[in-house]
């Protein structure tokens, strides 16, 4: 039959994004309007500001995505939208836009979990085959998830405090770097000595797949503070390298443990921190030694985008799993 055309919409945080996906796999367009410049002056995302910007942007971004794909609203098979987790005011804008389109065109509405979207960015990167373990690392999430088959998810572990990306952003801020700090620390770390300053690793209880980054964040802040008080100048590259080594060490070793516990052969990484070069290198190295495969989405699909939302909706579309027009937005939402 005719190949599906799914419009994806993502407004859970500070990017307004719309994408058109053909046949569940082919990205015809993926428009991302980032608010990062607006939030930078506040050092982080301001929810109220984000919501208002989404209201201004969403119709423009949807139209751009359709135009770039060369399709009209009337050609769509379904509309998929992120309905949680995230900033509820921001989510509501996308959910309302999705509902309006579904209602106007009498097409199915599919609500997508933001984390499922991040995981499915790997599907666009060249087909991911469950069973697998997904490491989801972003500004809001740090989770290890077992995916026995398409559309099924089980949590193996999660952060008990800060997300990995959040730790990057907070440490960057205390070093006087701008928001978002992850990419800047990643770059600095490449020039530093990871053994010059050794920061703690939070392994938690024996065998635990949970994470904790707030102790590490405090350790970095204390180190910076103490050096300043003694009038000592630390090399920012060494601080970045030491911090990154600690984050990467814990992320990689817990992922290896998750692979051993579940007995799978495939790992996919997702979320903004999946762009981290240190993480990519170390996990590839360990995967080669342990004998499992590891996939990362292309850099452009690691951070928030609507193509991944449409991709996660495709298996639901194929199975006829739709939402009603009373779909709501949720700040927290089980996977
Ligand atoms: O997935 P994402 O766009 O938004 C959330 O859903 O949170 O992730 C954004 C996060 C930010 O914390 C940012 O600092 C981090 O991803 N990030 C990185 C890198 N690129 C983005 N962290 C470490 N290294 C990077 N190269
Ligand atoms: Zn995200």
The mean per-residue pLDDT over the stretch 203-209 comes to 97
The verdict on residue 147 lying in a domain is: yes
Q: Is 118 annotated as a binding residue?
A: yes
Q: Does the structure show a pLDDT above 60 at 196? A: yes
Catalogue the long-range contacts made by 22-29 (C-beta closer than 8 Å, 24 or more residues apart).
22/69, 24/123, 24/311, 24/314, 24/315, 24/317, 24/318, 25/123, 25/124, 25/127, 25/311, 25/314, 27/124, 27/307, 28/68, 28/69, 28/70, 28/71, 29/64, 29/65, 29/66, 29/67, 29/68, 29/69
Would the annotation count 304 as a binding residue?
yes
Q: Which atom of ligand 1 is nearest to the CA of 164?
A: 12
Cβ of 273 below 6 Å from ligand 1: yes
Q: Is residue 137 part of a domain?
A: yes
In angstroms, rounded to a whole number, what is the distance separating the alpha carbons of residues 23 and 239?
46
**If we measure between CA atoms, which residue out of 252, 322, 241, 235 comes closest to residue 292?**
252
**Do 186 and 287 belong to one domain?**
yes
Residues 53 and 134 in one domain: no
Q: Flag whether 209 is in a domain.
A: yes
Percent of the chain with pLDDT over 90: 88
d(CA 241, CA 236): 8
143 domain residue, yes or no: yes
Same domain assignment for residues 134 and 279: yes
User: Is residue 225 annotated as involved in ligand binding?
Assistant: no
Nearest to 156 by CA among 131, 133, 130: 133
> Which bound ligand lies closest to the C-alpha atom of 275?
1
CA of 166 relative to ligand 1 center, distance in Å: 8
Question: 31, 65 in Cβ contact below 8 A?
Answer: yes
CA dist., res. 34 & res. 147, Å (int):
30
| Contact indicator for 7, 76 with CB cutoff of 8 Å | yes
Q: Are 258 and 146 in contact (CB under 8 A)?
A: yes
Q: CATH number, domain at 30?
A: 3.30.420.40
Q: What is the pLDDT of residues 20-48, one digit of tens each?
A: 999 999 999 999 998 777 777 777 778 88
CA distances from 56 to 45, 50, 91, 150, 330 (A): 17, 10, 14, 35, 21
Task: Determine whether the shortest distance from the Cβ of 168 to ligand 1 is under 6 A.
Answer: yes
124 within domain boundaries: no
Mean pLDDT of the chain: 95
Q: Please state the rounded mean pLDDT for residues 65-91.
A: 97
CA of 99 to the centre of ligand 2 (A): 21
Looking at all shown ligands, the one closest to residue 32's CA atom is 1
Q: Is 266 annotated as a binding residue?
A: no
Joined together, the tokens standing for residue 1 give 């039959």
User: Is ipTM beyond 0.85?
Assistant: yes
Does a structural domain hold residue 329?
no
Instruction: Determine if residue 182 is labeled as part of a ligand binding site.
Output: yes
Q: Report yes or no on 48 lying in a domain.
A: yes
Are residues 180 and 86 both part of a single domain? no
Q: Is the C-beta atom of 96 inside 6 A of ligand 1?
A: no
Looking at the structure, tell me whether residues 65 and 37 fall in a common domain.
yes
Determine the structural domain holding residue 92 and report its residue range: 5-119+302-318
Q: Whose CA is nearest to atom 20 of ligand 1?
A: 183
Query: 24 CB less than 6 Å from ligand 1?
Result: no
pLDDT in tens, 239-298: 999 999 999 999 999 999 999 999 999 999 999 999 999 999 999 999 999 999 999 998
The answer, yes or no, to whether residue 1 has pLDDT greater than 60, is no
Confidence of residue 50 (pLDDT cuts 50, 70, 90): confident
| DSSP count for the chain of H helices, then E strands | 11, 10
Instruction: Tell me, yes or no, whether 226 and 309 share the same domain.
Output: no
Cβ–ligand 1 distance for 276 under 6 Å, the answer yes
Same domain, 248 and 210: yes
Rounded Cα–Cα distance for residues 53 and 34 (Å): 10
Nearest ligand 1 atom to alpha carbon 180: 14
CA of 156 to the centre of ligand 2 (A): 19
What pLDDT, on a 0 to 100 scale, did the predictor assign at position 39? Answer: 72
Q: For position 319, what pLDDT does the model report?
A: 94
Q: Looking at the structure, tell me whether residues 184 and 206 fall in a common domain.
A: yes
Residue 63 and residue 87 in one domain:
yes
**Ligand 1 atom with the shortest distance to the CA of 141:** 7
**326 part of a folded domain:** no
Whole-number percent of the chain with pLDDT over 70? 100
Distance 219 CA to ligand 1 centre (A): 21
Q: Which residues does 78 contact at the CB level (< 8 Å), separation at least 6? A: 4, 6, 7, 102, 107, 108, 109, 110, 313, 317, 322
322-328 contact pairs (CB < 8 A, 24+)? 322/78, 322/108, 322/109, 322/110, 323/83, 323/109, 323/110, 323/111, 324/109, 325/99, 325/102, 325/103, 325/109, 327/81, 327/83, 327/95, 327/98, 327/99, 327/109, 327/111, 328/83, 328/95
Describe the crossing of helices 182-189 and 164-174 by its angle, rounded to 10 degrees: 70
Query: In this structure, are 230 and 180 located in the same domain?
Result: yes
Q: What is the pTM of this model?
A: 0.91
Ligand 2 centroid to residue 176 C-alpha, Å: 24
Atom of ligand 1 nearest to the CA of 165: 12
Which atom of ligand 1 is closest in space to residue 140's alpha carbon?
Answer: 7
Contact 146, 154 (CB under 8 A): yes
Please compute the mean of the pLDDT values over residues 223-242 and round it to a whole number: 96
Number of domains, the chain: 2
Same domain for 236 and 222: yes
């Amino acid at each position: 039959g005719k190949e599906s055309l799914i419009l994806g919409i993502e407004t859970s945080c500070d990017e307004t994004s719309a994408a058109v996906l053909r046949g569940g796999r082919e990205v015809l367009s993926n428009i991302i309007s980032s608010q990062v410049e607006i939030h930078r002056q506040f050092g982080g995302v301001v929810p109220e500001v984000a919501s208002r910007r989404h209201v201004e942007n969403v119709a423009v971004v949807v139209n751009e995505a359709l135009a770039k794909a060369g399709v009209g609203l009337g050609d769509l098979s379904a509309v998929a939208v992120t309905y949680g987790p995230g900033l509820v005011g921001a989510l509501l804008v996308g959910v309302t836009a999705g509902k309006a389109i579904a209602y106007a065109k009498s097409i199915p509405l599919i609500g997508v979990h933001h984390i499922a979207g991040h995981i499915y960015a790997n599907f666009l990167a060249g087909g991911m085959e469950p069973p697998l373990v997904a490491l989801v690392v972003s500004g809001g999430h740090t989770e290890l998830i077992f995916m026995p088959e398409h559309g099924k998810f089980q949590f193996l572990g999660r952060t008990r405090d800060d997300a990995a990306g959040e730790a990057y952003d907070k440490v960057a801020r205390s070093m006087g770097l701008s928001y978002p700090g992850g990419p800047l620390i990643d770059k600095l770390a490449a020039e530093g000595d990871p053994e010059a300053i050794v920061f703690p690793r939070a392994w938690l209880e024996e065998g635990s797949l949970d994470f904790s980054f707030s102790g590490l964040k405090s350790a970095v802040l204390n180190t910076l503070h103490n050096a300043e008080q003694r009038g000592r100048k630390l090399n920012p590259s060494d601080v970045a390298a030491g911090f990154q080594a600690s984050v990467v060490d814990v992320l990689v070793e817990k992922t290896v443990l998750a692979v051993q516990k579940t007995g799978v052969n495939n790992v996919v990484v997702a979320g903004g921190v999946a762009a981290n070069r240190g993480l990519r290198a170390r996990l590839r190295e360990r995967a080669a030694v342990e004998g499992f495969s590891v996939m990362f989405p292309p850099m452009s699909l690691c951070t928030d985008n609507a193509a991944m939302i449409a991709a996660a909706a495709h298996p639901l579309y194929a199975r006829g799993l739709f939402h009603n027009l009373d779909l709501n937005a949720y700040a927290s939402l089980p996977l």
